[in-house]
Chains A and B, each alone.
Chain A
Amino acid sequence: MKIFQDSTQQSFSGLSECQLASGKDKSRSMDVKNMREYMGWLYYQYLLITGIYVLEPWEKSIFNTVLFTMVAMVVYTSYVFVPIHVRLALEFFSGLCGEQPESTVALMS
């Protein structure tokens, strides 16, 4: 439960930044009575900041779907490709670092 909450907070980091930027620690007084209420409040903030508060329900769902799809794709892509790239990069750099002394030795000799 705690982890889930943390992850939601991270995913709404834009929001919490906004809160911080607005410099209102008082907004903490909205503090979590329970999880459900807090999630409702976060969703309300999300509606207001993106401006989809004023849209009709079907438009809201389009926006949410598009945004969710995009986020999901980004997450999935990074899940699939980031480890590969990291491994390749590591190999590349270790190759560089490994080769260097050899070649200097070769030059020396």
Chain B
Amino acid sequence: MTESAVNKEANGDVCQHRAVNGVKPGRSSALKEQQCHQRFVYKHDEKFHQSECNGGLYSKPFIESFEETPMLVAVLTYMGYGILTIFGYLRDFLRQWKIEKCHIAREREEQKDFVPLYQDFENFYTRNLYMRIRDSWNRPICSVPGDKMDLVERVSHDYNWTFSYTGRVVKDVINMGSYNYLGFAEKSGCCADAAAEVTLKHGVGVSSTRQEMGNLDRHEELEKLIARFLGVEAAMAFGMGFATNSMNIPALAGKGCLILSDELNHASLVLGARLSGSTIRVFKHNNMQSLEKLLRDAIVHGQPRTHRPWKKILILVEGIYSMEGSIVRLPEVIALKKKYKAYLYLDEAHSIGALGPRGRGVVDYFNLDPTDVDIMMGTFTKSFGAAGGYIGGRKELIDYLRSHSHSAVYATSMSPPIVEQIFTSMKCIMGEDGTTIGRDRIQRLAENTNYFRRRLREMGFIIYGNYDSPVVPLMLYLPAKIGAFGREMLKRNIGVVVVGFPATPIIESRARFCVSAAHTKETLDTALSAISEVGDLLQVKYSRHRTLPSLDRPYDETTYEESED
């Protein structure tokens, strides 16, 4: 396994770019690099935001902060989990001896002597920890999830084992949880009208695959538009975003190939990589030293045992990581990819539409050439307010995928209203509908993101991720605070997403806000004051970095103004 080797010396090209900045890199500069990386990731001084490593590759400051967990909070978190675990065992014991009724699935009487099914930690966690705070998840909504939404009120009389609906509706809950970055999830407006019209004309689906009778002219037009939008030769659209990843990676890589995957990649990428049957190696999150080490090892040693060279080396990264709010270091990844002749698969599920002055994702954000990325993947679920995914790249690649990808061959083609929604919203983003709505929304999102992140930082919360990422994780840490935060925010009429163990490391529970262009400043202010209030109540303002409010802040003006000249 090479993962352990990562910690060892990695004196590579990545940090040698620093020579541009006038720092002479030593040949065996492992220590120096470690420092360089640490300074990069765990930034202690907020003003120190000009990237030290590879500053030459970035056209704008790349500011990312992952403040370390305060020691006391970490200890208390473990203690909290310890106490809850003890009570979990107590409850399991009571269930085992039939002292209390078991509400959750368990082995039937005749299965008792077989291998236990519900014994592992995940099941224990679901049964005894998640169940207690389950009311903060899966809340049913009954309106369009725009900037505000209506929730179906529900109550539980048996501590979240069952819910019953009261029949009332909680009106106008501020929605801080939807991936509705550009606010295209709306029930009126050009997109909704166009989709409705197409539904009447074409119906909702053709019940056939693209390769058979399901190929409509609108699909082809959409694909041409996507290709134009991305700036690539060709593109292909799929009906399901998850399947775009999990079914296309197996078509691209196979036995004898090596996949280098970021440790925080989405489950769809992980599934795709596993289904492909290639060797998978995982590099540390957004850590270019780690990636280079793996690339170098892969090229030097080749395949295990036979030492033949790898057929292909595919790097899997995401544009914005949805749990950390970090943006991939794309300029460095592309530099590495070119140096080591690997292929790059970029998943822009969250970043397409949400980043860049023209809303064209992370490539646009860094002002790079889209043709440098071999496979551009993205989804329509987020910014476009639709469903499905796309893959863009060279024409040969797309032609190959058209005939070889499982989701092209077997999956039903996209429903025409959805195609229309994507078509209209994409045109809107590109400004081809004759309005500036798209441009305004991109601008608005960037402003909202900067404003929201800055205010939260000033309030003293620990906020993860890149300063320009519209995904804003707010750290909660303690298990009880996950449930309390969700409940208290709902009491103040704000819907938030709280994230706990299986999706994050066990001590790093968090709340995740998604800023949208649909939010007005007033909405954000209401949300922020509620967050601050709850933050005081729950004592989650952990940050020890003092940011002085409204004192020389370079983030006040929008990011894109200078890059648009």
Contact = CB atoms under 8 A, between A and B. Distances in A.
Interface of A: 17-19, 21-24, 26-27, 29-30, 44-45, 47-56, 59, 63
Contacts of B538: 48
B460 A48 contact: no
B204 interface: no
B132 interface: yes
Interface stretch (B20-28, B79-87, B329-337, B430-438): B79-87
Contact of A23 (B87, B460, B479, B483): B460
Given A18-B76, A21-B72, A53 B483 contact: yes
A48 B87 contact: no
Contacts of B544: 22-23
17 contacts: A22-B542, A22-B543, A23-B543, A23-B546, A24-B460, A24-B541, A26-B460, A29-B536, A48-B481, A48-B538, A50-B80, A50-B83, A53-B480, A54-B132, A54-B479, A54-B480, A56-B159
B484 A50 contact: no
Interface residues of B, number: 31
Given A17-B72, A21-B70, A22-B70, A51 B83 contact: yes
B480 A27 contact: no
Contact of A22 (B79, B132, B133, B539): B539
Given A22-B73, A51-B81, 14 more contacts: A17-B72, A22-B70, A29-B536, A45-B539, A48-B480, A48-B481, A48-B538, A49-B76, A49-B480, A51-B79, A52-B83, A54-B132, A55-B84, A55-B132
**5 pairs of A and B residues whose beta carbons are closest in the complex:** A51-B80, A53-B480, A54-B132, A51-B480, A48-B480
Contacts of A22: 70, 73, 460, 539, 541-544
Contacts of B478: 48-49, 51
Interface string B474-507: 0000111101100000000000000000000000
Contacts of B76: 18, 49
A55 B546 CA distance: 35
A30 B536 contact: yes
Nearest to A56: B159
A93 B80 CA distance: 43
